[in-house]
Amino acid sequence: MRTVVALLVAGALVMPAQREITFRTTTQLVVVSVSAKDEKGNPIEGLKASDFLVSEDGKPQKLSVFEYQRLEDAPPPAPEVKQRPAPGQPPPSARPDGEARIAPARPQEIKYRDRRLLVLFFDQAGMPVADQMRAQQAALRFVNTRLTASDLVAVMVYATTLKVLQDFTGDRDQLAAVIRGLAIGETGMENGATEAENEADTGAAYTQDDSEFNIFNTDRKLAALETAVRMLGSLAEKKALVYFASGMSRTGVDNQAQLRSTINAAIRSNVAFYPVDARGLVAAAPMGDATRGSPGGRGMYSGDSQRSSRNSFQAQQESLYTLAADTGGKALLDQNDLSLGIVQVQKDISSYYILGYYSSNTAADGKYRRIKVEVAKSLNAKLDYRSGYFGSKEFRQFSASDRERQLQEALLLGDPVTDLSIALEVNYFRLGRDRYFVPVAVKIPGSDIELARKGGAESTRLDFIGEVRDSRGSIQGTVRDEITVKLKGDQAGQLSSRNLQYDTGFTLQPGTYTLKFLARENETGKMGTFETKFAVPDLTAEPRRLPISSVVLSNQREKISDLLASAEKNRKLLDANPLVHGNEKLVPSVTRVFRKDQEMFVYLEAYQPAAASADFMLATVSFYRGKTKAFETEPLAITEGLNPKTKAVPVRFGVPMSSLQPGRYTCQVNVIDPAAQKFAVWRSTVVLLP
């Protein structure tokens, strides 16, 4: 990846938004699942809301939700004979986009009455192929032989992203089909921490330390689990998430913030984790098995290698045990029958009461709040419920780890965050036969930015995070930046009517990609996401046409020295950006809105792979209203400028917009190579304001 970063005040003036009056209130519905059993362990039925006394930190709370869930262990009824869909038609339960969703419940609604809710979560990113197959077979065995009439099962999978494969259903055939359709072996990778004493001896003089990768990888898994439990948060019923994984590596205390956040989210969403170690009962050879090379050094003779390997294995299981113990579940470790982990959920979740109240403590301080539930002593009931939860926390009270975790969570969300408005433009320029520089321009309205006055200047700090994935979902590029913007005098006063622009870039091969980008303003914590698909064409695949790059339209050039904030300190990075010419940078007009008193700058590159010097070319820019040509520039003759490395010839136009009347136009760029008898045409819509 090649990254070029700049932040500047740019763009056409926009009318300030009308001031809105906003009323805000904070309420939090706390749901507690209470299991009441007698001395023999049988559920107690018939209790009323008045029989329960609920308090939070010693203060009585008024119940707003009360429901009894009666769960039976009878086998499900015989499945109905279903008509098969016609060839090429999706099944009736499938969504048009091919991806399922967890259907939310309305406030105070008991959506699945008298049902046991189970989620089968497959961590395909952390399980080797053998463990993936073992987890799949265990899930199929449960669905085919142990599913009861009270059970509703949902299926989720985490590979490169979190996906919901099936919403809650009791259809045994449908669940079996979804589980059999899991992609086995596509993204599995070894899950283990780097240990000096048990590393394989590869014969290399130096080996790369992958501890930083393990930190990031584990945080992504925990964040995926947190996203999963948040999806379940609107359902008031007690839920159990069965997590199939091959252990979970943690590096010291680096993953603690995300682990705590995941556990807190599970507690607030009334979800208990039931991790299942898909490796089963492991009998490890002292020097390792045939799947890896033997360790080197004296550790193989002193026993340090064996102890280190065993400690690493136990640490991975300890992470699974922590997830279970802190959320009220149980971990299945060192068992070859993995379906027992799901059966344990059936045993633990018997008939229970759902109690819900709106907490009288509205402070967003993130502190732990202890819950106590009591019944009349004459009932002699044994109660089982969660002991408390962590309250929500305001953004200004977030620690550095909390803020970083929030960005990662928002990047994993399927739904966009729209507190901060974002416009984005992606272009491409050829660097070589199979390499393209892809600049990304992000524009944020200045009216969305809050400034804090410090030392006579007003400043704000912006966080940017983004990732590019190919058509298979693999990450091909990432960006993570933090920029501080300082404004003085008139600049601060004009910010509300202007825009902030951020530029970055990637080096990619031809193909189809998805870019997801997120920005956060760190005074109020407002965030915004933008997701788009784009294609980088193979310009050598069509020899009959003149290959050209993206066409960039702009209304502003900025000197590098005048940028408000910049990470472009490396001259090589500046030279690689085709939008930088001399000491000036062309600022793309992301919205492609111009004014009559502005000049529109047009930039593109035409490629002549076989030329030793630039061949003669002609270029024009035309503007159409419907089918009528409203304006066309004089032909521009291009005779020089060939880059000997990229074989690119720059094409630059300056078009005064005063020649056009306000309105919407189709801008067309024409480039002709008479000697090669080739041409290229590009079109886009632009808007001209008075």
Chain mean position to CA 578: 30
For residues 125 and 183, the answer to whether their CB atoms sit within 8 Å is: no
Which of the four pLDDT bands, split at 50, 70 and 90, describes residue 286?
low
Q: Which residue has the higher pLDDT, 414 or 642?
A: 642
Q: Contacts by 39-44 with C-beta closer than 8 Å and gap 24+?
A: 39/380, 39/382, 43/350, 43/351, 43/352, 44/379, 44/381
For 614-664, the pLDDT digits (tens) are: 889 999 999 999 889 999 999 999 988 888 888 899 999 899 999 899 999
What value does the mean pLDDT of the chain take? 78
| Count of CB atoms situated within 10 Å of the CB of 26 | 9
pLDDT of 119 strictly over 90: yes
Model pLDDT, residue 55: 92
Instruction: State how far the Cα of 488 lies from the Cα of 492, in Å rounded to an integer.
Output: 6
Q: Could you tell me the domains of the chain?
A: 1-16+398-538 (2.60.40.3880), 29-70+357-390 (no CATH), 116-200+210-350 (3.40.50.410)
Q: Which residue has the higher pLDDT, 382 or 205?
A: 382
Could you tell me what percentage of the chain is helix, strand and coil, using 3-state DSSP and rounding each to the nearest 5?
Answer: 20, 35, 45
According to DSSP, residue 43 is labeled B
Instruction: State how far the Cα of 503 lies from the Cα of 480, in Å rounded to an integer.
Output: 12
Those residues with Cβ within 8 angstroms of residue 196's Cβ, 6 or more apart along the chain or in another chain: 299, 308
Per-residue b/e over 128-142, b at no fewer than 16 CB within 10 Å?
bebbbbbbbebbbeb
Instruction: State how far the Cα of 634 lies from the Cα of 391, in Å rounded to an integer.
Output: 66
Instruction: State how far the Cα of 123 lies from the Cα of 224, in Å rounded to an integer.
Output: 10
Per-residue b/e over 220-257, b at no fewer than 16 CB within 10 Å?
bbbbbbbbbbbbbbbbbbbbbbbbbbbbbbbbeebbeb
Would you state the structure tokens that stand for residue 148, as one six-digit string? 């009861």
pLDDT of 324 strictly over 90: no
Among 188-202, 282-296, 469-483, 504-518, the range scoring the smallest mean pLDDT is 188-202
Model pLDDT, residue 24: 52
The alpha-helical segments, DSSP class H, found in 413-528 are: 490-494
Would you state the structure tokens that stand for residue 31, as one six-digit string? 């749901």
For residues 330 and 348, the answer to whether their CB atoms sit within 8 Å is: yes
Highest mean predicted confidence (pLDDT) among 115-129, 314-328, 405-419, 566-580: 115-129
Instruction: State how far the Cα of 453 lies from the Cα of 199, in Å rounded to an integer.
Output: 52
Bridge partners of 368?
390
Q: Which residue has the higher pLDDT, 379 or 492?
A: 379
For residues 624 and 668, the answer to whether their CB atoms sit within 8 Å is: yes
| Count of CB atoms situated within 10 Å of the CB of 399 | 11
Q: Which residue has the higher pLDDT, 105 or 300?
A: 105
For residues 386 and 267, the answer to whether their CB atoms sit within 8 Å is: yes
Model pLDDT, residue 512: 94
Model pLDDT, residue 268: 83
pLDDT of 23 strictly over 60: no
According to DSSP, residue 49 is labeled G
The pTM assigned to this predicted structure is: 0.60
Model pLDDT, residue 197: 47
What angle (nearest 5°) sits at the alpha carbon of residue 550, between those of residues 555 and 666? Answer: 60
- Residue by residue, DSSP assigns 357-379 as EE-S----B--EEEEEEEE-GGG
Would you state the structure tokens that stand for residue 553, as one six-digit string? 């339209």
Q: Which residue has the higher pLDDT, 37 or 570?
A: 37
For 493-540, the pLDDT digits (tens) are: 666 667 787 888 888 999 999 998 888 888 778 888 888 899 999 988
Of the candidates 404, 448, 403, which has an alpha carbon nearest to the alpha carbon of residue 422? 448
According to DSSP, residue 536 is labeled E
Would you state the structure tokens that stand for residue 570, as one six-digit string? 């490396």
Of the candidates 672, 682, 668, 679, which has an alpha carbon nearest to the alpha carbon of residue 628? 668
Model pLDDT, residue 566: 43
Those residues with Cβ within 8 angstroms of residue 253's Cβ, 6 or more apart along the chain or in another chain: none
Model pLDDT, residue 264: 84
Which of the four pLDDT bands, split at 50, 70 and 90, describes residue 682?
very high
Model pLDDT, residue 449: 76
Instruction: State how far the Cα of 561 lies from the Cα of 520, in Å rounded to an integer.
Output: 25
Chain mean position to CA 544: 41
Model pLDDT, residue 413: 67
Model pLDDT, residue 305: 64
Instruction: State how far the Cα of 502 lies from the Cα of 9, in Å rounded to an integer.
Output: 9
Where are any strands of DSSP class E within 11-112? 29-37, 52-56, 59-60, 63-69
Of the candidates 593, 681, 665, 595, which has an alpha carbon nearest to the alpha carbon of residue 631? 665
For residues 126 and 190, the answer to whether their CB atoms sit within 8 Å is: no
For 231-240, the pLDDT digits (tens) are: 888 888 889 9
pLDDT of 94 strictly over 50: no
Q: Which residue has the higher pLDDT, 223 or 563?
A: 223
First and final CA of the chain: distance in angstroms? 41
Q: Is 287 helix (H, G, I), strand (E, B) or coil?
A: coil
For residues 564 and 487, the answer to whether their CB atoms sit within 8 Å is: yes
Where are any strands of DSSP class E within 226-358? 239-245, 271-277, 352-358
Instruction: Average the pLDDT over 120-143 and give the result.
Output: 90
What angle (nearest 5°) sits at the alpha carbon of residue 39, between those of residues 38 and 45? Answer: 10
Would you state the structure tokens that stand for residue 659, as one six-digit string? 């020649």
Among 464-478, 482-496, 625-639, the range scoring the smallest mean pLDDT is 482-496
Of the candidates 460, 360, 468, which has an alpha carbon nearest to the alpha carbon of residue 3? 468
Which of the four pLDDT bands, split at 50, 70 and 90, describes residue 18?
very low
Of the candidates 605, 615, 472, 490, which has an alpha carbon nearest to the alpha carbon of residue 551? 605
Bridge partners of 6?
503, 566
pLDDT of 340 strictly over 80: yes
Of the candidates 402, 446, 394, which has an alpha carbon nearest to the alpha carbon of residue 420? 446
Q: Which residue has the higher pLDDT, 316 or 213?
A: 316
